[in-house]
Amino acid sequence: MSDTIEVAKRVEAAPPGRAPRRILRRAGEEFLRRREASVLVVAVGLGLYFMSAEPAFLTYDNLVNISRATAPTAIVAAGMVLVMVSGEIDLSVGAVYALAPFNMHYLIDYYSVPVIPAILLALLISAAIGFANGFITWVFKVPSFVTTLGTLNLVIGIVLVTSHAYPAPIPEQAVGTIQNWLGAADWSQLLWCVLIVGFLHLVLTSTRWGLHTVAVGGNLLGATEAGIRTGRIKIGNFMIVATLGGLAGIMDAFRVNTIDPNLGGGTTIMFAAVSAAVIGGTALAGGSGTVIGAFLGALVLAELQNGMNLIGISANPYFLILGAAILISMIANVYLSRLRRTGRT
């Protein structure tokens, strides 16, 4: 707030004609200071480019496609940001994504559980896997990279063994309203995505939970000394990302209208989520990151894949561009945070 006072004084002192320009520059600096700024510029730029290159990019159907490619990744990435800000990583979230719709299917078709409780139970089981990840990481001091590498394989093993690697149909009782609300209708995934991203953004920036997540990732010892229950924060964030992984898995199953066990361990969505978080400005080392940035990161990935497809480039160079995007955004992040730290911008 003292900043505002300072600005007000400076603006008063400036000659009348130059005041607006100063405000504009100030606004520009303020914009650049936001971590989401660079990735927002990229997302908008890519959109404009593909729009001009291929008119089909802006059709209703294609926008639905982009939203469907963005939403599940962004939902998982939003949770991943919390885990990464707290100084950990979850590689198993893609496996949970594969398992959750099967659990729903088993509960409904083999145990006659009604649809909604079955979905909630499937999410609860996802949360329990997240708890196990956090518990093992925290109590046994196993690095989360290793913990979740283990649970990734365990969970995928459970999926393949219980399903015999055969896909399953969507349970009949879920077909219709529930399937539509949870992923099948045109914009339902985006709706969930916006709600979840908005909610977690608020959690990270404006609640004690978010503040403590930053503190735990930024200075673990210091946070402990300040009396923060660091284990609870870390485990809780693992539970959040796993639950979101389960939700994204159920929604994607509803969308493609089948439950597929052969997702390659769910690594595609896991890596997409980590990439989206990183491109959005989240540091792997913990302590900083933004949920909105991760959403924009997921949007950038979806635009790239969709747009390149539309203008007739094969899917193969997509990975070249993704790789370059991750490296460039990471280098830019390191550079920008150094700028931020030394005071300028």
Partner 1 sequence: MAANGNGEALRVEHIAKRFGGVTALADVNLRLPRGEVLGLIGDNGAGKSTLIKVICGFHQPDAGRIFVNGEEVVIKSVDHARALGIDTVYQDLALVNELTVYHNMFLNRELVRWPLLSNRRMQRLARQHLEDMGVNVPSVDVEVAKLSGGQRQAIAVARSVYTDAKILLLDEPLAAMGAKEGALILDLVRDLKRKGEVSIVIIAHNFGQILEVCDRINLLQHGTITFDKPTSQTSVQELTDLVVAEYRAARTRGLAQDPPAEARGPGRG
Residue numbers at the binding site for partner 1 (CB under 8 A): 1-3, 202, 206-208, 211-212, 214-215, 217-219, 221-223, 225-228, 287-288, 340-343
- CB of 286 vs partner 1, minimal distance in Å: 9
- CB of 228 vs partner 1, minimal distance in Å: 5
- CB of 232 vs partner 1, minimal distance in Å: 12
Angle between helices 230-256 and 208-218 (to 10 degrees): 110
- CB of 145 vs partner 1, minimal distance in Å: 21
Overall residue count recorded for the chain in this entry: 345
281: region left, alpha or beta (phi > 0 left; psi from -120 to 50 alpha): left
Residue 302 and residue 73: Cα distance in Å, rounded?
9
Q: Are 82 and 205 in contact (CB under 8 A)?
A: no
Nearer to partner 1, 105 or 212 (CB): 212
- CB of 42 vs partner 1, minimal distance in Å: 24
* DSSP-based three-state secondary structure for 114: coil
Nearer to partner 1, 12 or 225 (CB): 225
Nearer to partner 1, 182 or 223 (CB): 223
* DSSP-based three-state secondary structure for 280: coil
Q: Are 305 and 69 in contact (CB under 8 A)?
A: yes
Which of 133, 138, 156 lies closest to 232 in space, CA to CA? 138
Nearer to partner 1, 93 or 240 (CB): 240
317 CB-near residues (< 8 Å, 6+ apart): 308
**DSSP category for residue 309:** H
- CB of 24 vs partner 1, minimal distance in Å: 22
Written as six digits, the tokens of 159 are 């999926």
Written as six digits, the tokens of 71 are 């939403």
Nearer to partner 1, 87 or 265 (CB): 87
Q: Phi first, then psi: what are they for 12, rounded to 5°? A: -60, -45
Nearer to partner 1, 217 or 249 (CB): 217
- CB of 201 vs partner 1, minimal distance in Å: 12
Nearer to partner 1, 1 or 315 (CB): 1
Alpha carbon distances (Å) from 13 to 2, 6, 20:
17, 11, 13
Written as six digits, the tokens of 185 are 């209708």
- CB of 144 vs partner 1, minimal distance in Å: 19
- CB of 211 vs partner 1, minimal distance in Å: 6
Nearer to partner 1, 318 or 340 (CB): 340
Residue 201 and residue 36: Cα distance in Å, rounded?
12
173 CB-near residues (< 8 Å, 6+ apart): 108, 114, 115
Nearer to partner 1, 88 or 260 (CB): 88
Which of 72, 67, 66 lies closest to 246 in space, CA to CA? 72
